[in-house]
Amino acid sequence: MISKALEEYVKTMYILKKQNGNIRVTDIANKMNCTKPSVNKAINILKSNGLVNYELYGSIELTQEGEDLAKKILEAYDIVYVFLKDVLNLEEEQAKNEAENIKNNIADDTINKLAKYVHKELGLNNLNCNYDINNEKCRSCIKRTVNK
């Protein structure tokens, strides 16, 4: 189990890989508004937890476990954001800021329940398939239905 701060590094690395095709210490530092030594320290901790592969001055790669964690972090944010914006009707900027704060302090079980509620309220198929944010196979069975 890693800290929420380290989860932000994993998420940032995943986003950078999707945007740029590679992950560099400088890019992480710039995106997270922190120093390169802070990034290097985080990378070493993530490496010891099996979430990244990295050799000094080499390329940074998320392991499969690291990539799965990044997807989970992004999905948790999305679930909270959709709830705040589309269910509670918050303005977009406020919903983004609040979602970021909430997802850093919410348990997986709560996210699972919130996801079921959001999907039901927005007319998505039911999640009586034992939805679990930690189980990608189950997540992929969710399909949007037209409720107009």
Q: Which tens digits make up the pLDDT trace of 32-66?
A: 999 999 999 999 999 999 999 998 777 899 999 99
Q: How far is CA 107 from the centre of its chain?
A: 13
pLDDT tens-digit profile of 81-101?
888 988 899 999 999 999 988
pLDDT tens-digit profile of 128-148?
455 555 554 343 344 333 333
pLDDT number for residue 140: 36
CA–CA dist 86, 147 (Å, integer): 15
Of the pLDDT bands very low, low, confident and very high (cuts 50, 70, 90), residue 72 is confident
pLDDT tens-digit profile of 96-127?
999 988 987 888 888 888 888 887 777 655 44
CA angle 73–77–83, rounded 5-degree value: 150
Q: How far is CA 40 from the centre of its chain?
A: 21
pLDDT number for residue 60: 93
Structure tokens at 88: 């509670």
CA–CA dist 58, 96 (Å, integer): 34
Q: What is the mean pLDDT of residues 11-19?
A: 93
Q: What domains are there in the chain, each with its CATH number?
A: 4-62 (1.10.10.10), 71-139 (no CATH)
CA–CA dist 62, 28 (Å, integer): 13
Q: Any idea which of 1-15, 61-75, 134-148 has the lowest mean pLDDT?
A: 134-148
Of the pLDDT bands very low, low, confident and very high (cuts 50, 70, 90), residue 17 is very high
